[in-house]
Amino acid sequence: MSFSTLFKSILHQPHISSKLLNALPFIPEEPCEAWWGKFDLAEGETRSWTVGTSHLTVQRFQYEWRSPSQRILMTTQAQVLLTPHLGTSPLAVRLIKPLHIPVDQPLFVYVIAPIWISLYTTNPTLLIDEKPSLPLKETWFGDNTREGELCYSGPLEYGSQLSELIYQNYQIIIPILLNNGSREEGILKRLYLPFPSLSIFVDGHNRLWTEQLNMEWQGHHYPEIHINPGPPRSVPDIQKLRPASANIHPKDTWLTACKTLLRKAF
């Protein structure tokens, strides 16, 4: 049995060997503050939330919701829903320090990225406002300037140990398993995260997580990104907070398109 076959079989086991991948994620002593949820507003009341560097404000009238970006005319209900969101486009970030991926040596990396904040009316659910928690820029991710995808780009941290990273409550943790099945060392210069295809989970300490991503090279220019369905297995006391915004067909869960660039692709 080749190592890659063995590795894939390990991946499909209900419990991944912690020796092979990593120890359990760092559990902070103090839980983070949960800023999401349903909030009551009386008629005429104005309410604001600050998450990261973004501010969301809404004012309720009898027949109108008013925010700085728009006005929604409807018979208003008392509650609004504030929720984390992963945006409508993937996140593609240039790594300041490239990540070296050795051959046939799986690595586990935690990536911490900013999240979006959405504010909805209830009954019916209508979007009042939506913002990224930190300023994001747009970027192009593709082989060339003809074919590719428009993505967001923003501040991002990564490390092999979650305890090394500083987590803020406006961020989300993306566990990534990197494996280089090719014969050459891979160097990751840009990281692609398929945000609209990922769900949001929350652990017992109010930290936000996505599904685990498996990135694998097989000697091609681009790795394949696989989304491991369900919450990260090694995180205790975790539950789903919001499903993926993009509809993923079972066949598409194996995102075989180009997702991360290796140095040789440039």
Partner 1 sequence: MISFPSPGDLIKSFELGISLKVLVQSVLLGGLGYLTARITSTLVSKALAKHITAHHCMVFRYIIFWIILIGFGFGIMMGPLQLDINRVGASFLVLLVGIGISAQSLVPNFISGIALMIEKPFAIGDNIVINEWLGEVLSIDLLSTKIRTRDNTLVRVPNEAVLKTELRNLSHFPIRRLDISMHFNFKEDLDHVKTILFDVAQHNPQCLDFPIPEAIFLGFGEYGAHIQLSIWCKQNIFFDFKDEFQFALHKALNANGIKIATLYLPNI
Interface contacts to partner 1, rule CB under 8 A:
92, 94, 135-141, 145-146, 148, 150, 153, 190
| Amino acid occupying residue 76 | T
Pick between residue 158 and residue 167 the one whose CB is nearest to partner 1. 158
Phi, psi of 107 (to 5 degrees): -125, 145
What's the closest the beta carbon of residue 176 comes to partner 1, in angstroms? 20
Dist CA 82 CA 67 (whole Å): 14
Q: Decide if 165 contacts 174 (C-beta within 8 A).
A: no
- Helical spans, DSSP H, in 118-175: none
Q: Is residue 209 within 8 Å of 203, Cβ to Cβ?
A: yes
Q: Give min distance, CB of 100 to partner 1, in A.
A: 21
Residue 125 neighbours by CB under 8 Å, 6+ apart:
81
* Min dist. Cβ of residue 64 to partner 1 (A): 29
Q: State the nearest-atom distance from the C-beta of 139 to partner 1, in Å.
A: 4
Of 132 and 186, nearer to partner 1 (C-beta) is 132
First to last CA, the chain: 34
CB nearer to partner 1: pick between 61 and 140: 140
> How far apart (Å, rounded) are the C-alpha atoms in residues 66 and 87?
22
3-state class (DSSP) for residue 215 = strand
Tokens of 182: 């090719």
Residue placing its CB nearer to partner 1 in the complex, 45 or 138: 138
Q: For residues 153 and 234, which CB has a smaller minimum distance to partner 1 in the complex? A: 153
Cβ at position 175, least distance to partner 1 in Å:
25
